[in-house]
Amino acid sequence: MSKNSQHGQWSSRLAFVLAATGSAVGLGNIWKFPYITGENGGGAFVLVYLTCILAIGIPIMMAEVMLGRRGRQSPVNTMRDLAKEAGSSPLWSWLGWVGVVAGFLILSYYSVIAGWAMAYVVRVASGVFEGATADGVSNIFGQFIADPEKLLAWHSLFIIVTMLVVARGVKGLERTVKFLMPALLVILVLLVGYSMDQGAFQQGVSFLFEPDFSKIDSDGVLTAMGHAFFTLSLGMGAIMVYGAYLPSNVSIGSTVIIISIADTAVALLAGLVIFPIVFANGLEPGSGPGLIFQTLPIAFGHMAYGSLFGTLFFVLLVFAAWSSSISLIEPAVAWLVENKSMSRMRACIWAGLVTWLVGIGTVLSFNIGADIKFFDKTFFDILDYLTANIMLPLGGLCIALFAGWVMKKEVSANELSLKHAWVYAVWRLLIRFVSPIAVIIVFLNVVGLI
């Protein structure tokens, strides 16, 4: 087993924490978490979500980082070599492929949604939403996504800035996240301060942190469980390949806990930004996916300094998307470098070009191709369903099974190097039984079997 990655390694534990947190913090924290929390009653949902982070997210993330550092290669080659080391089937390399393909497919549509956020930075900054009515904001959004040329232009721009970072290798990734993550935190804190001043802050805090279990049902529990899993970027190869660049002397357990806390804190801070503004303006917290693009612009358009802080909010959304996107394509780029003897620049050009081409299908799904459906789903709907509901749960389940049942106990204990034996025993119990069962329940729910 090679203990050095040909792609280099993070310069420090902090660099890995920032990179992995950047991978985890994305549209899911700032776009998805607030609206699913709103749909599922607030505090009770948040409490279930936090419990699932502890029982499912952290154990699987520890396992994925461990596998990456043990293999020191792209997810495909890592799983091939680790299966050989464990005396198991080489078919485990397909787990790596699931991650690589999932990350690639997610980025193909993720970049389109991130392009919307980039476009809204310009629109909010120019004062388009000042004094706008709900119908006016809805029309602006509808006209925007109905124009394939505009969507394609923003999609192209986002892919280009992503690949420029990835092409610079580990050092490029590290330098970018060292800027993006502190900037993201500063913007979040500023927006929380604005929300305290301009919003119904106490009502927002109560909604987020005072659980009322009568407002959450079994579907809400399953949604919390699924989001806890997805928000940490698990099962898509990103955390595994980032783990491959982790120095051997860094504690995996404590580092993963820090990353999980940071990721969760960003989601909760986003809630503290959004819900007080929503309540102060008499808007509906459970308004679904349109909360960010169709509801918040109404609020920003009628508040003091709304254009300034609305612009900061969408800059935050772009930064979060950018920090995640560079990790989504890294597994594919690493595989091309390792297996096709490509330079990193050439691998980035090919990976970026194919991602961009697939993304055109998502662009067209919102306008001229909206009526082209398979199984009553647009191209975008199919990609979203395939990745989020099948590939990621499958990847996470297989990571748990491999780490808990296939990898030798002494190998995982040595690689994790946890200070206390009881901590390793708890992790092993969770990764062998609790996490797989929970992921199977989520998987069966999303495919409609329970």
Structure tokens, 381: 């709907």
Backbone angles phi, psi at 420, to 5 degrees: -120, 135
Per-residue pLDDT band for 187 (boundaries 50, 70, 90) equals: very high
List of long-range contacts for 304-309, beta carbons under 8 Å, 24+ apart: 304/198, 305/194, 305/198, 306/129, 306/130, 307/124, 307/125, 307/127, 307/129, 307/130, 309/190, 309/191, 309/194, 309/198
Does pLDDT of 50 surpass 90?
yes
Q: What is the pLDDT of residues 80-115, one digit of tens each?
A: 999 999 999 999 999 999 999 999 999 999 999 999
User: The pTM is what?
Assistant: 0.92
Domain made up of 13-446: CATH architecture: Orthogonal Bundle (1.10)
Q: What is the pLDDT of residues 119-178, one digit of tens each?
A: 999 999 999 999 888 889 889 999 999 999 999 999 999 999 999 999 999 989 999 999
Per-residue pLDDT band for 202 (boundaries 50, 70, 90) equals: very high
Per-residue pLDDT band for 241 (boundaries 50, 70, 90) equals: very high
Burial readout 342-380 (b: 16 or more C-beta within 10 A, e: otherwise): bebeebbeebbeebbebbbbbbbbbeebeeeeeeeebbb
Does pLDDT of 2 surpass 80?
no
Please give the average per-residue pLDDT across 376-380, as a whole number.
93
Four-CA torsion 57, 62, 66, 68, nearest 10 degrees? 40
- Which letter does DSSP use for residue 133 in this model? -
- Residue 377 has a pLDDT of 92
Q: Which residue has the tokens 């308004």?
A: 287
Strands (DSSP E) along 173-281, which ranges?
Answer: none
| Range from 181-185, 353-357, 390-394 that averages highest in pLDDT | 353-357
Q: Which residue has the tokens 């940490």?
A: 232
Please give the average per-residue pLDDT across 370-379, as a whole number.
91
Backbone angles phi, psi at 419, to 5 degrees: -70, -30
- The separation between CA 96 and the C-alpha centre of its own chain, rounded to angstroms, equals 18
The span from the CA of 154 to the CA of 148, in Å, is 10
Contact 34, 207 (CB under 8 A): no
- Residue 156 has a pLDDT of 98
Does pLDDT of 8 surpass 70?
yes
Nearest Cα to 70, choosing from 415, 395, 310, 384?
A: 415
The span from the CA of 69 to the CA of 81, in Å, is 12
Per-residue pLDDT band for 225 (boundaries 50, 70, 90) equals: confident
Those residues whose C-beta lies under 8 Å from the C-beta of residue 398, and which sit 6 or more positions away, are 92, 95, 98
The span from the CA of 152 to the CA of 317, in Å, is 19
Those residues whose C-beta lies under 8 Å from the C-beta of residue 65, and which sit 6 or more positions away, are 20, 239, 240, 242, 243, 246, 252, 255, 256
Structure tokens, 55: 């029982």
- Residue 361 has a pLDDT of 97
The span from the CA of 390 to the CA of 226, in Å, is 11
- Residue 389 has a pLDDT of 77
- Residue 288 has a pLDDT of 65
Does pLDDT of 219 surpass 90?
no
SS3 assignment, position 210: coil
The span from the CA of 264 to the CA of 107, in Å, is 22
